[in-house]
Structure 1
Amino acid sequence: MTAANCGEKTLLALCSGINGKLLQYNKVEDKWQEYASINYGYKWYQTIIKDDNLLFIGGFKNRDTLNIVRSWNIRNKTWRDLPTMKQARKFHCVVELDGKIYAIGGYDGKNALSSVERYTTSAGWEFVNSLIAGRSGACAVTLNGKIYIMGGSAGLNNSKSVECYNPDSNTWTSCADTTECPYDPSAAAHNGRIYVLGDWSGNRTVERYDPQQDTWSKICSLGVGDYIISCVSLDNKLWAITVDYFVRKTYVSVYDEENDRWGQKCSLPVTSIDFCFVVPEALLMSNE
């Protein structure tokens, strides 16, 4: 069975550090368990699930910003190198749209980037039209066949600006600004809207964007954690992973849209979480 044909889905969390590992979530028992160890030796990369693989794109090592792309097969637990990006970047965004991987903006060690490139297995990496404004530390999602990028910074000041990419016309257009100025926020597309959560400074604010109305509104803020690691849409619910470094605890929260409040699930056993993904449960069964 391939990843595309699986039914039930769950969460897979990537933990960094000297001994990196992947943790999988058991929804029935509400607990986390180790899936595999994984070591990669650099930081400030972006990751994305593509088919049965976890792609590590760009990053930073030994004072160098990287353009490397590596693929780790979740089933076989093996690495392979993919074609390098045209632009070295860190603090960038990565999304998949229509089977293509996009690397957006970021920082090259000197400047915030406006460049955007797209990867396909047939053509490799190729540039598409650049962002209206360069930015690093932003967040991006796909919704209704388009890419949205929010927040980030191009210098000393954080940005409220939002841009939308239409792949049919290869153009970026401006959307309504967010109400906050988030740097390094988390974002997810969920039930036809976009949610942007917090930022690196400990802000727990949650904003929701309606693409039909081109408007932002605030919903119930997160009540736990001082840094928001990730948010995803799973089982028709919005999930958020937050860390409180003072008490060394990682929280898993689920949004109750009807009552506008957050509930808690089993916390993660570590604080070194970098990313969290939604994956088919069958993809992880080879480890059982």
Structure 2
Amino acid sequence: MLDGRSCVVPGLFSSSCQADNNWSFMKFMPDLDMTNGKRHIDIDDEDERMPRKVNRRLDSCYQGEMDSVVPQIDLDDDQRKDFEPLNNCRIVEKAVAFSVQFSAEQSQLSLLQLSLSIFGDEQQKERQLDDGNLMNSNDEPSDEQKERYAGDSSDSSSLLPRMNRDSSITCLSRCSRSDYGSLASLNRSFRNIIRSGELYAWRRLNGIIEHWIYFSCALLEWEAYDPIRNRWMHLPRMASNECFMCSDKESLAVGTELLVFGRELQSHVIYRYSLLTNSWESGMRMNFPRCLFGSASLGEIAILAGGCDSEGHILDSAELYNSENQTWETLPSMNKPRKMCSGVFMDGKFYVIGGIGGRESKLLTCGEEYNIQTRTWKEIPNMSPGRSARGSEMPATAEAPPLVAVVNNELYAADYADMEVKKYNKDSKLWITMGRLPERAASMNGWGLAFRACGNRLIVIGGPRSHGEGFIELNSWVPSEGPPQWNLLARKQSGNFVYNCAVMGC
């Protein structure tokens, strides 16, 4: 199955994203009152109280896009009490977004200097405003000036002015994670709470989730797409050998990590991309290394089931991975060994669907349900969407694993041969045709096509097979809105064969 294996991922830090993708940043004006060196914030009177040097800078910011997307903050009554010193979180959003805007204009003003004009202490602000040469110069600040304006900014108890730490983190957690790279560059305190994962833990605690799509159309290259802001990001290249590059690979997004499974010579290997550090590393090992398995994630945990060991034996074993502490736990074995299967979470339970098993490596039509609470497996007949008549004569290993995804606890499948999308009826245990797949979602027996759930919608990623058309398309459909109506989310110049795909929600 190409939506989790070959045969996905954003750069956290804005410097690399700007270089590769030329992102557009939000443009806003912070509401600041610098009168008498105070940090009082006022929405209505900012123009009268802003220092002239800063006002000149703000005037230039009003030219261009002023209607950019703003992270919206919806607070209940109890949360609003935490933000009374600042009236509401919109002020903080403006300040942060204003700093983000200037990160793209560092040739005229140091981002560190700007961040201190918003978040720094009184003495640092006074020194900054007194230095007119730096504020009005196009020259790069000297090392002495950088050190002078950067300060320490390491007190994590005062992330935002006049707000306690918990309230500051709550406010920052509601900003889009597209901006976390720029937030990390503001000061050491921001960088620490992002790289430590504390901000993502806070988001998880409060049910704040953004789903991003990670996929690979080149052997060691990964792209990430933010469907909310329509932004592309390019991940650092994986530093692996040729054996891993050419091997079959599976992928899985869990927590703030992207895991890519493959082989190097005679052993299985896992490469782990961390959203917190924007880097790859290897060395992690399962209890029972495998490939061609079925897998799915639920928050910070993931389950991998079946597959083959290094000698090609089909496995019935399963493992649970916890991304919080990076540990593997062996689970009870399935009823049937299987490889080239698919996995999903639905109704809080893990399901493994289809695959190949038995001594003769026959196609399996059954599925199995794993209950996390009771730690037991139950076989479910006819759970695999099966093949169309056009694919019935193919060898079992020629076809991709079932292309399945779950949205709102409903199971869907993509029938690549008949170009249809189907839904599984839990009561009758039958598959019902819902409509058509996007017409340009071509594949090779299911290989090269990605079919994933992304929040409340289904995503199909594929490209045309026509010679010379080197691009990939992302189409989406929201099942709750009615019969399949696929909308084109994005198109990107790329190879048109999807090797791996995963969706990270954090």
Distance 1:48 1:19 in 2: 15
Q: CA deviation at 1:104?
A: 0.9
Instruction: Verify the 8 A CA contact 1:208 1:218 in the aligned structure 2.
Output: yes
Distance 1:216 1:34 in 2: 36
Distance 1:245 1:12 in 2: 22
Q: Which of 434, 443, 455 does residue 219 from structure 1 map onto?
A: 434
Unpaired runs of at least 5, structure 1: 281-288
Distance 1:91 1:219 in 2: 29
Q: Which has the larger displacement, 268-277 or 185-194?
A: 268-277
Verify: 1:102 aligned to 2:102, yes or no: no
Q: CA deviation at 1:269?
A: 2.5
> 1:141: which partner in 2?
344
Instruction: Verify the 8 A CA contact 1:153 1:183 in the aligned structure 2.
Output: no
Q: Deviations over 1:84-138 (max 9, x none)?
A: 1122211112223474332211122423221112234669333212222222111
Q: CA deviation at 1:83?
A: 4.1
Q: CA deviation at 1:156?
A: 4.4
Q: CA deviation at 1:47?
A: 2.4
TM-score (norm 1): 0.80
Q: Which of 487, 496, 505 does residue 263 from structure 1 map onto?
A: 487
The verdict on how the C-alpha distance between 1:207 and 1:133 changes in structure 2, with shifts beyond 3 A counting, is: farther
Q: Deviations over 1:31-81 (max 9, x none)?
A: x5233223153243332223322223x42233x351x33322123222344
Instruction: Verify the 8 A CA contact 1:141 1:189 in the aligned structure 2.
Output: yes
Task: Identify the structure with the greater helix proportion.
Answer: 2
Q: Deviations over 1:155-201 (max 9, x none)?
A: 543222111111222221122413424742322211221112236xx
> 1:35: which partner in 2?
234
Distance 1:225 1:21 in 2: 20
Pairwise CA RMSD: 2.9
> 2:313: which partner in 1?
111
Instruction: Verify the 8 A CA contact 2:290 2:307 in the aligned structure 1.
Output: yes
> 2:264: which partner in 1?
61
> 1:234: which partner in 2?
454
The SS at the match of 1:188 is strand
The verdict on how the C-alpha distance between 1:205 and 1:172 changes in structure 2, with shifts beyond 3 A counting, is: farther
Instruction: Verify the 8 A CA contact 1:191 1:236 in the aligned structure 2.
Output: yes
Q: Which of 186, 205, 221 does residue 403 from structure 2 map onto?
A: 186
Structure having the higher Rg: 2
Q: Which of 371, 377, 401 does residue 166 from structure 1 map onto?
A: 371
Distance 2:238 2:282 in 1: 14
TM-score (norm 2): 0.48
- AA matched with 1:34: M
Verify: 1:210 aligned to 2:425, yes or no: yes
Identity %: 15
Unpaired runs of at least 5, structure 2: 1-172, 174-198, 388-398
Distance 1:18 1:102 in 2: 25
Instruction: Verify the 8 A CA contact 1:97 1:146 in the aligned structure 2.
Output: no
Q: CA deviation at 1:225?
A: 1.9
Instruction: Verify the 8 A CA contact 1:193 1:208 in the aligned structure 2.
Output: yes
Q: How many residues align?
A: 273
Instruction: Verify the 8 A CA contact 1:91 1:106 in the aligned structure 2.
Output: yes
Distance 1:37 1:124 in 2: 25
> 1:3: which partner in 2?
200
Q: Which has the larger displacement, 125-134 or 211-220?
A: 211-220
Q: Which of 274, 277, 280 does residue 503 from structure 2 map onto?
A: 277
Task: Identify the structure with the greater strand proportion.
Answer: 1
Distance 1:36 1:123 in 2: 21
Instruction: Verify the 8 A CA contact 1:187 1:230 in the aligned structure 2.
Output: no
Instruction: Verify the 8 A CA contact 2:252 2:259 in the aligned structure 1.
Output: yes
Instruction: Verify the 8 A CA contact 1:205 1:221 in the aligned structure 2.
Output: yes
Distance 2:333 2:346 in 1: 19
- AA matched with 1:259: P
Distance 2:313 2:492 in 1: 35
Distance 2:343 2:294 in 1: 6
Q: CA deviation at 1:214?
A: 3.6
Distance 1:244 1:158 in 2: 29
The verdict on how the C-alpha distance between 1:220 and 1:65 changes in structure 2, with shifts beyond 3 A counting, is: farther
The SS at the match of 1:3 is helix
Correspondences of 1:121-136 after superposition (within 5 Å): 124-136=327-339
The SS at the match of 2:362 is coil
The verdict on how the C-alpha distance between 1:235 and 1:113 changes in structure 2, with shifts beyond 3 A counting, is: closer
> 1:284: which partner in 2?
none
Instruction: Verify the 8 A CA contact 2:299 2:505 in the aligned structure 1.
Output: no
> 2:256: which partner in 1?
52
The verdict on how the C-alpha distance between 1:159 and 1:249 changes in structure 2, with shifts beyond 3 A counting, is: farther
Q: CA deviation at 1:140?
A: 0.7
The verdict on how the C-alpha distance between 1:45 and 1:205 changes in structure 2, with shifts beyond 3 A counting, is: same
Q: CA deviation at 1:219?
A: 1.8
- AA matched with 2:386: E
